[in-house]
Amino acid sequence: MRYLTIALAKGRLANKSMKLFEEMGITLEEMKDPNTRKLIFTNEEHGLRFFLAKGPDVPTYVEYAAADIGIVGKDTILEEQRKLLEVMDLGFGKCRMCVCGPESAASLLRSQAQIRVATKYPNIAGDYFYNTKNQTVEIIKLNGSIELAPIVGLAEVIVDIVETGSTLRENGLKVLEEVCDLSARVVVNQVSMRMENERIMKLLQGLSEVITGKE
């Protein structure tokens, strides 16, 4: 039997996803070793193969069918714009994509000023300002610690993920507008969905039962 390959976004999402699979009786002892540098793990009993990848690469692996299935944040799905099927909301990793900045930037948003927007998500930010708000802005791509940008004067506002809001609070920034809700999603390769439909549906069914059991 061919392995079904599942790509997990490294970090918190992967850990939570592995817990769900464990609750379905799919265990990967090797993956739990905190010192392992191994990237790929197989479960012979279930014919499954799991690998860890950087979040933004998960949709790429799935689009090219290097993974049949992926578990990744909605933010990454929106940003990467890959051809894939988004089939399930896992309900964890809940957070919001927001426009944030100092209180003083609120008026710049209202007046549709031509501001600078710093973000790790240029496609999401561009789509929001250009298509949803019809506001011309300059988008500046950063790779992390986005909250710095308005503090040091790189940009008036940021588009970033807000979970607890503590990063914003500790840096004197506020949510000014909400772009969308985010959470962990299951994505499937379009061809895999046809060729391996039965196995994939069974796996999704299992995941959905574990999640419903938790609610």
Report the residue from 63, 75, 160, 196 that binds ligand PRP according to the rule CB under 6 A: 160
Choose the stretch contacting ligand PRP; rule: CB under 6 A; options: 47-55, 62-70, 82-90, 161-169. Answer: 161-169
Min dist. Cβ of residue 96 to ligand PRP (A): 9
DSSP result, the chain: -PPEEEEEETTHHHHHHHHHHHHTT---HHHH-TT----EEEETTTTEEEEEE-GGGHHHHHHTTSSSEEEEEHHHHHHH--S-EEEEE---S-EEEEEEE-GGGHHHHHTT---EEEES-HHHHHIIIIIIS----EEEE-SS-TTHHHHHTS-SEEEEEESSSHHHHHTT-EEEEEEEEE-EEEEE-HHHHHHTHHHHHHHHHHHHHHHHHH-
Report the residue from 30, 103, 138, 163 that binds ligand PRP according to the rule CB under 6 A: 163
State how far the Cα of 134 lies from the Cα of 128, in Å rounded to an integer.
Answer: 8
Count interface residues toward ligand PRP (CB under 6 A).
13
Say if residues 83 and 191 touch (Cβ distance below 8 Å): no
Q: Determine if 152 is a binding residue for ligand PRP (CB under 6 A).
A: no
State how far the Cα of 159 lies from the Cα of 155, in Å rounded to an integer.
Answer: 11
Min dist. Cβ of residue 113 to ligand PRP (A): 24
Choose the stretch contacting ligand PRP; rule: CB under 6 A; options: 63-71, 80-88, 157-165, 185-193. Answer: 157-165
Report the residue from 111, 131, 164, 212 that binds ligand PRP according to the rule CB under 6 A: 164
Report the residue from 35, 131, 134, 166 that binds ligand PRP according to the rule CB under 6 A: 166
Q: Determine if 35 is a binding residue for ligand PRP (CB under 6 A).
A: no
Min dist. Cβ of residue 170 to ligand PRP (A): 8
Pick out residues in 116-135 that bind ligand PRP (CB under 6 A): 120
> Nearest to ligand PRP by Cβ — which residue?
144
Min dist. Cβ of residue 198 to ligand PRP (A): 37
Q: Give the footprint of ligand PRP on this chain (CB under 6 A).
A: 120, 144-147, 160-167
